[in-house]
Amino acid sequence: MLELGVLDQSVIGPGESATTALWQTVELARRTEKLGYSRFWVSEHHDSGSLAGSSPEVLLAAIGAHTSRIRIGSGGVLLPHYSPYKVAENFRVLEALFPGRVDLGIGRAPGGFPLSSLALRGPAAPVQDDGMPDKLRELGAYLETGQALPAEHPLHGLIASPRVASAPEIWLLGSSDVSAALASRLGARFSFAHFINGEGGQRAVAQYAASFRPGMLGTRAQASICVFVVCAETDERAEREAKAADLRLLYQEKGERHRPYPSVEEAEAYPYTEWERARTAINRRRMVVGGPERVRDSLQELADSYRASELLVVCPIADFRARVRCYELLAALFLRRSFG
């Protein structure tokens, strides 16, 4: 049976506050746990007017306190910006609080724009060379999922606190075969971001599975797919809800990062140019939209094409009630869960 997880981006709905968006994420985690979802991840975005989740570690602490079984994780921590030592300690604290439930998903993207990247890394740090392989090896050493740092390393012998009996599962997140190759080489689990890149993911996941070997970040190959889904009671209602997501992606591509999340009414009134309509059609390749029957068939076809047993769903609907309904409908389709 196909497993479903959640990636929530803490969307700030039209006329709502970031505070509301963050508490809606916590409530969504509580509800999707009851519906039988496998895991609940939160994203990291910076300098955004439409997404509130800038610190997944802090948000995960609140989510863990309001849930009891569902796996919780980052989708993902943007390691190029940070010290592996600090990331390891943050997630060791989470593992101590919620043992056996924590996923450390790691991304390579900046999660924002050049100014926020500069602010996060500091002016003395190189902006172009992210040093990901070395940072990942160092992270594995601190989490004790791989080898210790060699004696000649300047941080040899350093211990990440607190010492706990278990470690989070480490996932590399990516939208190309570059991250897939890195995950297979270092032994990490891998999640392909189909919601970012709707092309080439099947090849990347197949290459990951074929070339995987145990390494610094784990011993078992496991892959998942992350995809935008807009599901409503009818195809027509889902298509209308998806219009706001279409426009938000277009704003993002145009660099209009401080715009609030558009309403459906704003999207319906927007005067698309011919180029913008073409971009929207391309973006729809990253998205599954429809009523229950259409979505069921499309998601199963997508999972089969990837040979994946788990999908992570990003529901890009600003209205919280409609977003919850999307996850309820998916649970009824794939998890055999009813809702009241």
Which ranges of the chain have pLDDT less than 70? Answer: 110-113, 124-130, 337-340
The pLDDT value recorded for residue 147 is: 80
In this prediction, residue 145 carries a pLDDT of 81
Residue 144 lies in a domain: yes
Say which CATH number the domain at 112 has: 3.20.20.30
264 within a domain of the structure (yes/no): no
Query: From CA 60, how far away is CA 105, in angstroms rounded?
Result: 12
Q: What is the pLDDT of residue 130?
A: 58
Q: Please state, in angstroms and as integers, the Cα–Cα distance from residue 128 to each residue in 36, 47, 56, 78, 82, following that order.
A: 41, 19, 24, 14, 14
**What pLDDT shows up at residue 55?**
97
The pLDDT of residue 282 is 96
Q: If 0-12 CB within 10 Å is exposed, 13-18 middle and 19+ buried, where does residue 145 land?
A: buried
Q: Structural domain tally of the chain?
A: 1
To which residue do tokens 């060791």 refer?
92
In terms of C-beta density within 10 A (0-12 exposed, 13-18 middle, 19 or more buried), how is residue 276 classed?
middle
Query: How many CB atoms are located within 10 Å of the residue 127 CB?
Result: 12
Summarize pLDDT for 211-229 with one digit per residue, the tens: 999 999 999 999 999 999 9
Q: How far is CA 139 from CA 72, 91, 281, in A?
A: 19, 11, 40
Q: Is residue 113 part of a domain?
A: yes
Backbone angles phi, psi at 292, to 5 degrees: -55, -45
pLDDT of residue 184: 97
Q: Determine contact, residues 162/93, Cβ cutoff 8 Å.
A: yes
Spatial neighbors of 128 by CB under 8 A, at least 6 apart, are none
Q: How far apart are CA 314 and CA 113, in angstroms?
A: 22
Q: Contact, 250 vs 287, CB < 8 A?
A: no
At 111 the pLDDT is 55
- The rounded distance, in Å, linking the Cα atoms of 324 and 13 is 14
Q: Is position 111 within any domain?
A: yes
Q: Is residue 216 part of a domain?
A: yes
Q: Which two tokens stand for residue 305?
A: 């094409």
Q: φ and ψ at 231, to 5 degrees?
A: -120, 135
Domain of 166 in residue numbering reads as 3-233+288-335
For residue 282, tell me if it sits in a domain: no
Instruction: Indicate whether 248 belongs to any domain.
Output: no
pLDDT by residue (tens digit) across 176-206? 999 999 999 999 999 999 999 999 999 999 9
SS (H, E, C) 184-203: HHHCCEEEEECCCCCCCHHH
The answer as to whether 275 is a domain residue is no
* CA 292 from centroid of its chain's CA atoms: 23
- Residue 312's H or E segment, with its range, is strand 310-314
3-state secondary structure of 291: coil
Q: Say what the pLDDT of residue 104 is.
A: 98
Whether omega for the bond prior to residue 162 falls within 30 degrees of 0, making it cis, is yes
pLDDT for the residue 339: 58
Joined tokens for residue 202: 């099947």
Q: What pLDDT is attached to residue 112?
A: 62
State how far the Cα of 286 lies from the Cα of 329, in Å rounded to an integer. Answer: 20
